Chain A
């Protein structure tokens, strides 16, 4: 199995797992067809996000996708925007100490 297929299957199983967890909290069960549909939806959406984000970074004349591109992606849904922004703030707050050590580690492993 190629890496691409493995990634696809992992996305599928993760979204199924999330659905089952929600089901336990709500006291309902999901048919396997329903789980498959949701998993397929999540994967397809991920693919669309990748092409959208690629277009955004190209438009900004960059070759790296950053958090601003993601914020642009979710601009129309206010609650999602809020979620992304709080998460981003959290990531920025946790970052400073780790960044330098991570970079150093990666350089030594790749060289």
Chain B
């Protein structure tokens, strides 16, 4: 898969994270309950999370295909984790 097909895949995925859900997670983690989050930034965080999930799926899928496997196992995901952790903040 080259760069263009990856971008195509990105636009194909219809599932998105719901801003309300992210807001709830954030609220539970805040040290100060008075902190708030704007709608815009929630949308942006949803986008980042989607990119993270997709990138994990894409990269591990690629490894599996390279090994001529049609099932992605835990080992495949584990092998892409270090680089993924470096790429995402």
Partner-B contacts on A (CB < 8 A): 3-4, 6-8, 10-11, 14-15, 17-19, 21-23, 25-31, 33-34, 37-39, 41-43, 45-47, 49-54, 57, 63-67, 69-70, 73-77, 80, 83-84, 87-88, 91-92
**A77 → chain B closest CB, angstroms:** 6
The DSSP consensus for interface residues of chain A is helix
Measured in the bound complex, the distance between the Cα atoms of B18 and A85 in whole Å is: 19
With contacts A25-B12, A57-B35, A65-B36 taken as known, whether A77 is within 8 angstroms of B89 at the C-beta atoms is: yes
Report how many A-B pairs have Cβ atoms within 8 Å: 188
Number of interface residues of B (CB under 8 A): 59
Chain B residue nearest in CB terms to A98: B39
Q: Are A21 and B15 in contact (CB under 8 A)?
A: yes
With contacts A18-B54, A21-B15 taken as known, whether A91 is within 8 angstroms of B40 at the C-beta atoms is: yes
Interface string of B20-48 (1 = CB under 8 A from A): 01101110111110111110110111011
Measured in the bound complex, the distance between the Cα atoms of B59 and A38 in whole Å is: 11
Q: Are A28 and B38 in contact (CB under 8 A)?
A: no
Q: In the complex, which residues of chain A have a beta carbon less than 8 angstroms from the beta carbon of B50?
A: 18
Q: Are A74 and B48 in contact (CB under 8 A)?
A: yes
With contacts A7-B21, A66-B40 taken as known, whether A37 is within 8 angstroms of B78 at the C-beta atoms is: yes
**B48 → chain A closest CB, angstroms:** 7
B residues 49-76 in Cβ contact with A at 8 Å: 49-54, 56-58, 60-62, 64-65, 69-74, 76
Q: Are B25 and A7 in contact (CB under 8 A)?
A: yes
**B66 → chain A closest CB, angstroms:** 11
Q: Are B52 and A34 in contact (CB under 8 A)?
A: no
Q: In the complex, which residues of chain B have a beta carbon less than 8 angstroms from the beta carbon of A21?
A: 12-15
Chain B residue nearest in CB terms to A39: B53
Q: Are A31 and B73 in contact (CB under 8 A)?
A: yes
Q: Are B28 and A64 in contact (CB under 8 A)?
A: no
